Amino acid sequence: MKVSKWSENLFGTPIFDPVVTASFMFPLLYLVAFLIIPVLTMLAVAFEYNGHFSFHWFTSILTSNYYISKPTGEFYRLITMPNGEQIYYVQGVDFGVIINSLLVSISVMILTTILGTVFAFVMARYDFPGKNIVRILLFVPLLVTPFVNVFIVKKMFLPNGLINWLFFDILHIFPHRIVIDGLVGVIIAQTMTYYPIVYLNAYASFINIDPTLEEQAENLGSSSFHLFRTVTFPLALPGIAAGATLVGIFSLEDLAAPIVFQGNALARKLMSFQIYSAFTSGFNVGSPQLAALALIMLTIAILMFLGIRKYVSLRQYAMLSKGGRWKPRVAKPKGWQAILIYLVVLPMLLISIFPQVGVVLLAFSESWSGTWPQGFTTAHIQSIITQPDIERVIMNSVMYSTAAIIVILLLSLTASYASSRFKKSKLGPVLDSLSTIPIAVPGIVIAMSYFFFFAKVFPDTPLDPTNLLGFNPAMILVLAYSIRRLPFAARSISAGIQQVHVSLEEAALNLGAGRWKALTGILMPLILLNLLGGAMLSFVYCMSETSVGITLGSINPEYYPITARMVELMTSAVGSANLAAALGVFLMTVQIIAIVLANVITKQRYSFIGLT
Amino acid sequence: MVDVKLENIVKTFGETVALKGIDLHIKAGELFTLLGPSGCGKSTTLRIIAGLDFPDSGTIYFGDEEVTYLPSSKRGAVLVFQNYALWPHMTVFDNVAYGLKLKKLSKDEIRKKVEWALELVKLKGFEDRYPTQLSGGQQQRVAIARALVVEPKVLLLDEPLSNLDAKLRLEMRSEIRRIQRELGITVIYVTHDQEEAMAISDRIAVMNVGTVEQVGTPKEIYESPRTEFVASFMGKTNVIPARVVERNGDRVSVEFEGIRLDGLHYTDKSDDVVIVIRPERIQLKPVENAVSFTGTVDLIEYYGFFIEVVGLFGDTRIIARTISDREVAGLRPLQEVTFYVERDDIIILPRQQL
């Protein structure tokens, strides 16, 4: 036998091996078939006009006032209420759909960065009475309750909502009551939903800074804010920037906030909502102009993603330090620091967890029209088990999610095994990029491209979304869930594989085992905890996935996943928001159980990145 | 038990050439050491023999069988990894039994062989422990038992003592030697520690940047280094740049710092040479058939069971080592001192680009 150059080039092992080959080819083919080709199908639609290749749909978007315009409207207005009281009504300015989306995304990035970095710095560097309670409270905003938490945010900013009660009625800080709506409403809601992502990244970055680097700076005479500005913050910046970019992408693709605020015309003028509303209105879905819009959205997200990858890889300071764990630098806050922590940071935290608290209150209340909900009832919670339509959507979601995690585990295990063990492979980098790129593919873009792909390739079958009531979204949802979740699951499994020294597998090979035995008998048992943790967090993610669930998943009521029913409840008659909140409580319970289990089993601090 | 032959093994990693055509013949039943500084290619050579890496060109024979591209699992050259690579999710018994289970032996046979191997490494009674419950030395023994139990054709040891503390290192060194003698097995041993290599090996190959500089017994390597690199790598040695100023058959005169030494053995053509003198061969009193050179005392360093006198000759520092307090009793820094070396203890080697 001779070494084969092509096997070494393709799969990084000079001797052809079926297990290695399969580990590369399964995730590669899967991603090509269910990510690349569907997007290309959409691409083909967007670039076709009258049977020819054309930029027509793009130029028609980019030249239209609807999509890009000069700022119109006033950022805020002073409105006189029927009772004669004046209130500020803040909604933002219209720059056209594309610019609006970008501005919202950038604003959310900035706000979440400030909020997340401040919380992280306080938690990483200060020791103060009540810190442990704060640590637990910080987990609350991570809980995902699609739509309902945004609904609560909206309520908080109504004239009689919590914010105005607190800052106008009690503290008299606001000159007038402030109501937020439109783009500003979307920005505030997304900030409150996504700041934990920056918080987690920033916290990890602060904790990972070698204390001697700060001590040396202090030793040379730096202190306080100067130290933070010149050493601590620059060292943590790559991590913070990565978190912020993730938030920017999530903001771009977010549907929950625009849907909840859609009563305001400005909130509807966002790219994600434009595509979504085509799905709900039924006609116009297959429009090539929307395909073009989806591609513009995809391009923006991917550029943001590639930008941050380049930036972070250029500045991997964290990796430079000597490794090893150290005791992080923690200090007792002094004077003004303590005042800031107790009077600014903690109240901000309490406000930021109110949406999740509000979801629970809403689920257990009879009505909620004033500042606080009225009347305690368990009726909504009971409907989860008694109402057949609710029971059905839960069963559907459980089925889709269970199927999806099997696929996700297979995909992420093979992909991470291939790319972390066979580094000489020329396919490795391709597989790496392909399996991380779904981070940058908005869910609504996946929904859109699946629409074109399955309608074209499987016409008049249950896989064809234009088949309406003949359409069964089960397989499509499982595909979408698995593709969307892959980057996150693969990352946690890669981390596990990297902790297992390669010599453990080599020792098995050397003693006579084949690749299959070394993989299943040595590597998999050793990363079992990572696999279990990954499975549980993926399950949670799939249960609350929004974008694809409320578009392709909401065509046929019989096959609704939970989120499809939730969005229906949120947008229909008064009172059904309580039932949506009950579903939100159900999802939170599932998440808490999964996170606690994952933490107990893996003895690691896992947190669930709240994205849908 | 086989002999291992490597013929012209070349291995590159990307742009860097790790092995530049290695030729080695390891005899059946000997303990053969690959010695060299880190990055010299010794571990790569070992991994290629184990079948965990494959050469770009060249051939490997176990006995008469060519094994160059035989997968590791079918080769029977079992490696004991530097980090032991014990599987943390298996007990000591399961770790050792792993290779036997793959050979589909009966339960009874496996039990018997594992027992034999654990007895050999003095770990009987530890069968049900997990690797994390063992000390470093015990883990090392498990790794060796796991390799020996499958009756390998060749046992490969990759820096096996580097993770142990100094005392345990000496103990395991003689342990490995004992087991090797007991089983008469062919062992290829990799280390960067020349003292360890000399103590344990039948023969040593000294490697440097992807080539073998010299193969020989510890005594040959130490006393008759064939290159400047080997001379300087094997312990603390005086390597003094010099020039040949006169040739007389196989005897030459060399000069350094204006000091001329006559009647030394040297046959190479190059006039650009180094004088190699082991510190313990330098005497502070006149002896027969010796050359001598006079300079000043730079330093006297007291090491306990020996003393080193550093002499300064022009700009060249030369170290002499003695075990006698009395010889250095009168010496003080800056005093004049004369070093005497027997001609047979001086080695002249062509200068090497290191």
Answer yes or no: do A509 and B74 touch at CB < 8 A.
Answer: no
The stretch A60-66 carries a mean pLDDT of 92
Could you tell me what percent of chain A has a pLDDT over 70? 94
The stretch A340-355 carries a mean pLDDT of 90
Chain A neighbours among B 125-154 (CB < 8 Å)?
146-147, 150
Put simply, whether B52 touches A (Cβ < 8 Å) is yes
Q: What is the pLDDT of residue A66?
A: 93
Question: Any bridge partners for residue B312, and if so which?
Answer: B296, B317
| Residue A15 contacts residue A7 (beta carbons within 8 Å) | yes
Q: Is the pLDDT of residue A332 over 90?
A: no
> From A506, which residue of chain B is nearest by alpha-carbon distance?
B52
Chain B partners within 8 Å of A4 (Cβ): none
Q: What is the pLDDT of residue A608?
A: 40
> From A504, which residue of chain B is nearest by alpha-carbon distance?
B85
Least reliable range by pLDDT among A69-73, A220-224, A566-570, B71-75: A220-224
> From B82, which residue of chain A is nearest by alpha-carbon distance?
A503
> How far off is chain B from A414, nearest CA to CA, in Å?
21
- In chain A, the domains with their CATH numbers are 5-51+382-602 (1.10.3720.10), 73-376 (1.10.3720.10)
> From B147, which residue of chain A is nearest by alpha-carbon distance?
A511
Q: What is the pLDDT of residue A314?
A: 63
pLDDT tens-digit readout, A530-542: 898 889 889 989 9
Of A4-18, A107-121, A269-283, the range with the highest mean pLDDT is: A107-121
Domain residue spans in chain B? 4-230, 236-350
Put simply, whether A511 touches B (Cβ < 8 Å) is yes
| Helices A576-602 + A346-363 axis angle, to 10 | 120
Put simply, whether A520 touches B (Cβ < 8 Å) is no
Q: Is the pLDDT of residue A262 over 50?
A: yes
Confidence of residue A317 (pLDDT cuts 50, 70, 90): low
Q: Is the pLDDT of residue A211 over 80?
A: no
> From B49, which residue of chain A is nearest by alpha-carbon distance?
A510
Answer yes or no: do B71 and A509 touch at CB < 8 A.
Answer: yes
Put simply, whether B51 touches A (Cβ < 8 Å) is yes
Chain B partners within 8 Å of A425 (Cβ): none
> From A15, which residue of chain B is nearest by alpha-carbon distance?
B71
Chain A partners within 8 Å of B81 (Cβ): 503, 506-507
Residue at A151: amino acid letter: F
Of residues A285 and A227, the one with the higher pLDDT is A227
Q: What is the pLDDT of residue A548?
A: 94
Q: Is the pLDDT of residue A1 over 70?
A: no
The stretch A28-36 carries a mean pLDDT of 96
Put simply, whether B67 touches A (Cβ < 8 Å) is no
Confidence of residue A298 (pLDDT cuts 50, 70, 90): very high
The stretch A362-372 carries a mean pLDDT of 88
The stretch A208-213 carries a mean pLDDT of 78
Q: What is the pLDDT of residue A28?
A: 96
Put simply, whether B87 touches A (Cβ < 8 Å) is yes
> How far off is chain A from B194, nearest CA to CA, in Å?
25
Answer yes or no: do B69 and A509 touch at CB < 8 A.
Answer: no
User: Which member of A2, A503, A514 has the closest CB to residue B81?
Assistant: A503
Q: Is the pLDDT of residue A514 over 50?
A: yes
Confidence of residue A604 (pLDDT cuts 50, 70, 90): low
Q: What is the pLDDT of residue A9?
A: 82
**Domain B236-350, CATH among 3.40.50.300, 3.90.1150.10, 2.60.120.430, 2.40.50.140:** 2.40.50.140
> From A505, which residue of chain B is nearest by alpha-carbon distance?
B85
The stretch A465-475 carries a mean pLDDT of 86
pLDDT tens-digit readout, B118-152: 999 999 999 999 999 999 889 999 999 999 999 99
- ipTM for this model: 0.81
Please list the ranges in chain B whose pLDDT falls under 50.
Answer: none
Q: What is the pLDDT of residue B129?
A: 94
Answer yes or no: do B52 and A509 touch at CB < 8 A.
Answer: yes
Put simply, whether B98 touches A (Cβ < 8 Å) is yes
Put simply, whether B73 touches A (Cβ < 8 Å) is yes
The stretch A462-468 carries a mean pLDDT of 85
Mutate to test the interface with A, among B68, B73, B110 (most CBs of A within 10 A): B73
Decide: pTM greater than 0.80.
Answer: yes
> How far off is chain B from A18, nearest CA to CA, in Å?
14
**Domain B4-230, CATH among 3.40.50.300, 3.30.499.10, 3.90.226.10, 3.40.718.10:** 3.40.50.300
The stretch A407-413 carries a mean pLDDT of 96
User: Which member of A14, A506, A513 has the closest CB to residue B54?
Assistant: A14
Confidence of residue A607 (pLDDT cuts 50, 70, 90): very low
